[in-house]
Amino acid sequence: MSRLGTAAGNGAGLGRPLPYLLAALACTILESIQTFDRLAQAPFFRHDVWLLPKAIHTEYKWLLYTAPKVFISIVGGLFLLLFLASFSGKCCLRLQAWRKPALLVVCSIIFVPLTIATIKSLSGVYSPVDMLPYGGKHPHIGLLEQLWAYGAVSGGRSFPAGHASGGFAFMALYYLPLRESWKRDLFAFGFLAGWGMGLYQMARGEHFLSHTLTTMFLALTIITTLDHLIDAFGRRLKAFAEN
């Protein structure tokens, strides 16, 4: 048996990456349709005031912004310990079924936010709060609009949504070797965590709806890609050990 163990659970997991990648690309097109995002943003910006003012964010940042990120890091650390423990002599057999899922969760918590942060640094899209319609000084122009009109991007760093990416990484918990109903509950937890963190940022004027949608589908793309890569690596390792 592969040292990475077998795939967790029954069925095909969350499927293949391609449909999620195509959905993320569709959301990227949506990001350049200004009417969509402005309509979705309207409930968060009334009478020239954001639903979550800067003063509230400043006072409760430790709880509403920082604490979720710390919790995600702690969970990632615990699953890393679980992965390492699965190689110890006494625990090896009992934890073998958790080895590959634990590695997948750790990699998802690392690579989902890292990938989103990298794309953000290159997209050149400003936050709503920085745009003219919301009291900022920059025009509302999407990524594809920038590339089409200017052949380059500006200096913004807001697309896709970075804060929500850590929450969406928890959708990888679906792969834990548990009964199907629990797996669905854990997937729902990751889905809700991502949207909770994403809506918090929307209420502050840091992101549009299209930003969080894109992050969700990119997270699913990365998680399912990691799943296939870990499986492929495990098969190669098994073949090498047998030769």
pLDDT in tens, 123-157: 999 999 999 999 999 999 999 999 998 888 888 99
d(CA 232, CA 218): 21
d(CA 99, CA 84): 8
Percent of the chain whose pLDDT exceeds 90: 83
Percent of the chain whose pLDDT exceeds 70: 94
163-217 pLDDT, tens digit each: 999 999 999 999 999 999 999 999 999 999 999 999 999 999 999 999 999 999 9
d(CA 227, CA 202): 30
73-91 pLDDT, tens digit each: 999 999 999 999 998 876 6
pLDDT exceeds cutoff 80 at 1: no
Q: Which helix (H) or strand (E) holds 41?
A: helix 34-41
CB 130 within 8 A of CB 137: yes
Confidence of residue 92 (pLDDT cuts 50, 70, 90): confident
Q: What is the CA radius of gyration of the chain?
A: 20
CB 227 within 8 A of CB 171: no
Write the single-letter amino acid at 191. Answer: F
Q: Return phi, psi of residue 138, to 5°.
A: -115, 145
pLDDT reported for residue 5: 52
pLDDT exceeds cutoff 50 at 14: yes
Q: Return phi, psi of residue 137, to 5°.
A: -120, 5
Mean pLDDT of the region 36-49: 96
Name the residue among 218, 214, 217 with its Cα closest to residue 31.
Answer: 214
pLDDT reported for residue 94: 80
pTM over 0.85: yes
